[in-house]
Amino acid sequence: MTVVGGEGAQARGVSTIGVMLRRWRSWGTRRRVEELIRGGVGVSERAWRCDGGADPARLAAEVAMWAREEMAGMRRPFGVDQVALALAWRDGRGRVVCSASLGVMRPVAFYDGSAEGQLKEAFGSALGLTDGSETEVLAALVRLGDLAYELQGEARAA
């Protein structure tokens, strides 16, 4: 029989119950974050319609401006101000043609041009995959500061 934490954990002064409680807490936090995101906390979505001849630079500028507007009201507990941006392109029949993620970024990236550059590159690549017909660009922005604020509030209440 294997004990969670094992002999090494006990030798380091870590109890098996302590290891288990930390794992359960992390599972609980993960579950709570998933619930918050499903509930729309910290999540903004928007769609743009464009044809195959759309200008990637113009689209990148529009998405960057939208992201800046969405981030303006973000809570920033303990300086947590990161966001994650994901994009998806659907063809005229609603099928997802491709997707991209800019990953986790600081808001400054949307002001110094670096996010806009990544967006332009993503739009250029994605538009190259379309047949020139109308596509829909879907963007989802997750504001991690808002999620951290909600989790912090629960911790204070507990």
Section 128-157 average pLDDT: 83
Question: Do 22 and 67 belong to one domain?
Answer: no
User: To 5 degrees, how large is the angle CA 60–CA 33–CA 81?
Assistant: 45
Q: Is the residue at 65 inside a domain?
A: yes
Question: Do 54 and 10 belong to one domain?
Answer: no
Which of 142 and 52 is assigned the larger pLDDT? 142
Question: Do 101 and 52 belong to one domain?
Answer: yes
Q: Smallest Cα–Cα separation from 130: which of 157, 92, 103? A: 92
Total domain count for the chain? 2
What is the Cα–Cα distance from 100 to 118, expressed in whole angstroms?
Answer: 10
Secondary structure class of 143 (helix, strand, coil): strand
β partners of residue 133: none
Question: Do 142 and 88 belong to one domain?
Answer: yes
Q: Is the residue at 63 inside a domain?
A: yes
Question: Do 84 and 122 belong to one domain?
Answer: yes
Question: Do 89 and 30 belong to one domain?
Answer: no
Secondary structure class of 16 (helix, strand, coil): helix
For residue 13, with 0-12 CB atoms within 10 Å meaning exposed, 13-18 middle and 19 or more buried, which class applies? exposed
Residue 143 belongs to domain with CATH number: 3.30.1490
Question: Do 22 and 92 belong to one domain?
Answer: no
Question: Do 55 and 85 belong to one domain?
Answer: yes
pLDDT band of 157, cuts 50, 70, 90: very low
Question: Do 56 and 82 belong to one domain?
Answer: yes
Which domain range does residue 53 map to?
43-157
What's the pTM value of the predicted model, to 2 decimals?
Answer: 0.77
Question: Do 30 and 80 belong to one domain?
Answer: no
Q: Residue 131's pLDDT is what?
A: 74
pLDDT digits (tens, 9 = 90+) for 57-102: 999 999 999 999 999 999 999 899 999 999 999 988 888 989 999 9
Q: Is the residue at 32 inside a domain?
A: yes
Matching residue, tokens 């909600």: 150
pLDDT band of 6, cuts 50, 70, 90: very low
Q: Is the residue at 1 inside a domain?
A: no
Q: Is the residue at 146 inside a domain?
A: yes
Section 6-27 average pLDDT: 56
Matching residue, tokens 């998405």: 63
